[in-house]
Amino acid sequence: MDATPLASRRAAVDVLMACLDKGQPLDDALGQHRGFAALDPRDRAFVRLLLASTLRHLGEIEGVLSGLITKPLEGANAVGRQVLRLGAAQLMFLGTPPHAAVDTSVRLVEDAGLHHLKGLVNAVLRRISRDGDALLVDRDPARLNTPRWLWESWIHAYGEDTTRAIAAAHLNEAPLDLTVRRDADHWAVQLEAEKLPTGTLRRKGGGHIAELPGFAEGTWWVQDAAAALPVRLLGDITDKRVADLCAAPGGKTMQLCAAGAQVTAVDISARRMARLGDNLARAGLSANLVTADASKWTPGEKFDAILLDAPCSGTGTLRRHPDIAWLKDEEDVARLTVTQDRLLVHALGLLKPGGTLVYAVCSLQEDEGFERINGVLVRNPQVKRIRVTPAELPGLEDAITPRGDVRTLPFMWADRGGIDGFYMARLTTN
């Protein structure tokens, strides 16, 4: 058997174990795996697709496997569970030829020294290759692939119909969204992309990002359409002093600079700030970069505008990061809300009277969104909400809440490929 398909699947097993057994974020696990880095670009793309598909459909996969395995694969046999998950994902959702999925899976457990699992892996995956469609009949993908804590929190916040629509949208891979510095119509042609009503370019075709026209010159950068909205809500910021708090990796910082603002970008991670600096340099943009805890940082002068993209659970980005659903829980959200409160209160103290602050989180959890803003407004009557108008969100008018905040949901723009789930609120002080 050719070593290449085995090497790519071996990397996938290692990364899946790091993610699901050790709680490591998928992107971090991929970045730290030497075998993955050594693969050629096509095989790296396959590994990413395989892992994302496995995590996106993990509930369905577990439902099928639990009906075919009598004893749990735990302890030293845990690698066998991950091999079966990956094999099942290939057979049920990626259309991998059965002989390739089954044979490589058997080789993987053999290479792991689990010779006693060869027969089980072979039998289970051959059964799935033969009866996979029947095994999935009458199952509820939206519900099965959403952990209970998420499902119940969304039911409480949005109701069952909207929750089902959110969960169904998470089963689809997100397209590639790009923010351009200028001349979006020209670059839409060059990049074979659709120009969305809000100005973001959406590319559905494949290809390596670094090889696309305009990348080396910093003409555009990758940024989901929803993530590009908070900067728009600041209005005209030409020559204004703007702070971008929790700024890395820097998509919003680059937007602010391109809009003509005098930008100070603050983030606690030196590594992420170095990456932000590289991105700015590639685009020929400049900002004052500060590595500090944004909840404690105190500059000498207050700002005309502040963008606070607060640390959050990231549950609005499950189309891109399906691992989040299985790595986060209610306790994580509770801890994050404490951080969000601290950051928001401190950020408001850095704002000039009458200035504008936009608070944003890429989360679907109301505790991280409306509840945070509502709490601040109740505690501090000097803080006021600035309502967002339909004219500011062309094509996304339905995302404006009755209170004038913004709540994008993953099924919005479904005919265009969806959008990340974000909450945004625009505030000012007396």
Structure tokens at 102: 């089954």
Residues 239 and 262: their CA atoms lie apart, in Å, by 6
Known binding residues are: 246-252, 267, 293, 309
- CATH for 3-139 is 1.10.940.10
230-280 pLDDT, tens digit each: 999 999 999 999 999 999 889 999 999 999 999 999 999 999 999 999 999
Whole-number pLDDT of residue 206: 67
User: Active-site residue 19, yes or no?
Assistant: no
19, 257, 312, 362: which one is catalytic?
A: 362
Contacts of 24 (CB under 8 A, 6+ apart): 18
Q: State the fold for domain 176-429.
A: Rossmann fold (3.40.50)
Q: Which residues of the chain are modeled with pLDDT < 70?
A: 1-3, 206
In the chain, where the domains are located: 3-139, 176-429
Measured in degrees and rounded to the nearest 5, phi and psi for residue 172 equal -105, 140
Known binding residues for S-adenosyl-L-methionine are: 246-252, 267, 293, 309
Whole-number pLDDT of residue 312: 97
400-418 pLDDT, tens digit each: 999 999 999 999 999 999 9
Whole-number pLDDT of residue 3: 56
Whole-number pLDDT of residue 365: 97
Whole-number pLDDT of residue 210: 87
Structure tokens at 59: 């509930």
